[in-house]
Structure 1
Amino acid sequence: MQNILSEKRKQELLHLAADLGVEFRDLSLLQQALTHTSYANESKVSIVHNERLEFLGDAVLELASSTYLFKRFPKMPEGQLTKTRAGIVCSATLARLAANLHLGEYLLLGHGEELGGGRTRQTNLEDTFEAVIGAVYLDQGWDTARDYVLRQLEPEFSRISHGEALKDYKTILQERVYQREGQNIAYELLAENGPDHDKTFVFQVRITGKVMGRGTGHSKKEAEQQAARMALEKMTEKGQGAG
């Protein structure tokens, strides 16, 4: 099975590769990384989708970020290393990075997925980001893949390097809200999608009844953290304690 490239598609992928800073030897790997399962399922010919590359890219991403943190912070204990890595490579961050690279614009999607907003769906963007890493690794090897990952994550690493330790957004939000008497926080599960081995949760957070944030993640905790983060950002923009 092979993903055949038209001349137009080849030029699109070359443009994307230039933006990624990677000179692919085999553009079909990048094509595969951008092929959603819905597109493969609707195709009349057998083509390869990106799930296997996503699996590989996830492993490369974890090793590259873990190695960086291990070497950059020699005194950081194991528990904090794990927590910091989890904060850096969370679903929301990877989706945001994918959006910054405009990966959604290059995705090959099935008709229903296209109509359902698949190009901007967080899980699709996150999965594609990881699949591209997998493609870079297979095409260029470890050194180039590692450098690519570190280049993409540089803003997140910089934040940690400048002393902005990984924040427990739920705790910070709770502390800020409870500074004002009579206020309260409530987290609500809005959606739970996907198979048991790959679920996605959507939560929103209310502060004294008012919706202040929404978050998505592969665990309830991650989704709640992202909702709390959004709430804190809104509160900061408004220059107020909570609501």
Structure 2
Amino acid sequence: MHQLLVFRDQKLLNHALTHRSYINENPHTQTHNERLEFLGDALLNFLSGEYLYSLYPEKEEDELTRMRSALVNELQLAEFARDVGIPEKMLLGKGAILEKGQENPNLLSSTFEALVGAYYLDSNSDVEAVRLVVQPLFNSVAEDIVAYSSNLDIKNTFQEWVQHNISPKPPQYVTLQISGLSHNPVFLSKVLVNGKQFGEGRGNSKKQAEKAAARNALSNKDALLKIHK
């Protein structure tokens, strides 16, 4: 069992894992986890900022801000929730279970935040105790976060290359397909330059797919330049 799920006060642990939908169907249970979610969100923003500030002394404020956003965004926190074993322990209402709430990134990330807040309280409000359990999670994705933040402006980079080398007109992005489950869709997009396809990419949102398409186009830009001239 992950250390983040080891509590002295089991009632506090259950509180952190209890979604509002469970309260609605189990009136004897009085408390859902939304206040703890608020506390955990504040802790994670502070700890992630401190972590990145110490780890990357050469980076400026704007890049650190982008990296922090990536480190504690909904999808990343949902991954942390899976890593520590939260899905099978969440207390959800029957409707939420039928809708596969245990796989919903929003519910997972919210529960992870609540768990962090509860762990802080269970540790006598000791930030160091929370730092010790979340830092290994941060370490596990630090390199990916750097790569992600460096790609946040990938569409702008590709547009500048296009306008410098091919055409003053900006690239156009077209969504080709949306597949997957309703709560976890997969978008397929292509990027066109003067009506010709330069790249293709997938992502869990339209923006992510477009960035992946721009990245794909840039990785093949020299060959594509010869073909499309």
Fold-level similarity (TM above 0.5): yes
2:136 corresponds to which of 151, 166, 171: 151
- Aligned pair partner of 1:207 in 178, 190, 194: 190
1:35 aligns with 2:23: no
| Structure 2 unaligned regions, length at least 5 | 225-229
Taking structure 1 as reference, are residues 158 and 203 closer, same or farther at Cα in structure 2, changes over 3 Å only? closer
Percent of residue pairs identical: 30
State the AA in 1 paired with 2:16: A
Displacement after TM superposition at 1:104 (Å): 1.0
Structure possessing the higher radius of gyration over alpha carbons? 2
1:185 aligns with 2:173: yes
The answer to whether the 8 A contact 1:60-1:146 is kept is no
**CA drift at 1:31:** 0.9
Partner of 1:26: 9
Decide whether aligned partners of structure 1 residues 185 and 27 sit closer, same or farther in structure 2, where only a CA change above 3 A counts.
Answer: same
Give the RMSD, CA atoms, in angstroms: 3.8
Q: Using a 3 Å threshold, how does the CA distance of structure 1 residues 165 and 212 change in structure 2: closer, same or farther?
A: closer
Q: 1:138/1:30 Cα in 2 relative to 1: closer, same or farther (>3 Å)?
A: same
Letter in 2 for 1:149: V
- Alpha-carbon distance between aligned partners in 1 of 2:143 and 2:25, rounded to the nearest angstrom: 42
Q: CA deviation at 1:215?
A: 2.4
Residue 28 of structure 2 aligns with which residue?
Answer: 45
Amino acid in structure 2 at the alignment position of 1:120: E
Q: CA deviation at 1:227?
A: 3.7
Q: 1:173 to 1:213 in 2, by over 3 A?
A: farther
Q: Aligned-pair distance for 1:87?
A: 1.5
| Aligned twin of 2:72 | 89
Task: Confirm whether residue 142 of structure 1 aligns to residue 127 of structure 2.
Answer: yes
SS in 2 for 1:113: helix
The letter of the residue matching 1:35 is T
How many Å separate the matches in 1 of 2:27 and 2:139?
41
The within-5 A match list for 1:3-22 is: 18-20=1-3
Unmatched segments (≥5 aa) in structure 1: 1-17, 191-199, 217-222
Give the secondary structure class of the aligned counterpart of 1:166.
Answer: helix
Corresponding position of 1:13:
none
Describe the superposition over 1:184-212 as per-residue Cα deviations: whole angstroms up to 9, x where unpaired: 42369x8xxxxxxxxx9978452169995
- Work out whether residues 16 and 114 of structure 2, in 8 Å CA contact, stay in contact via their aligned partners in 1: yes
Report the CA distance shift for 1:228/1:148 in structure 2 as closer, same or farther (over 3 A).
farther
Separation (CA, whole Å) in 1 of partners of 2:67 and 2:113: 19
- Normalising by structure 1, report the TM-score: 0.67
Report if aligned partners of 2:188, 2:203 keep a CA contact under 8 Å in 1: yes
Check the 8 A contact 2:155/2:211 in 1, yes or no.
Answer: no
Give CA deviations for 1:128-149 in whole Å, capped at 9, x if unaligned.
Answer: 1111111111111211111212
* Partner Cα distance (2:156, 2:79) in 1: 22
Secondary structure of 1:82's partner? helix
Q: Verify the 8 A CA contact 1:185 1:205 in the aligned structure 2.
A: no
What is the aligned counterpart of 1:54 among 37, 52, 68? 37
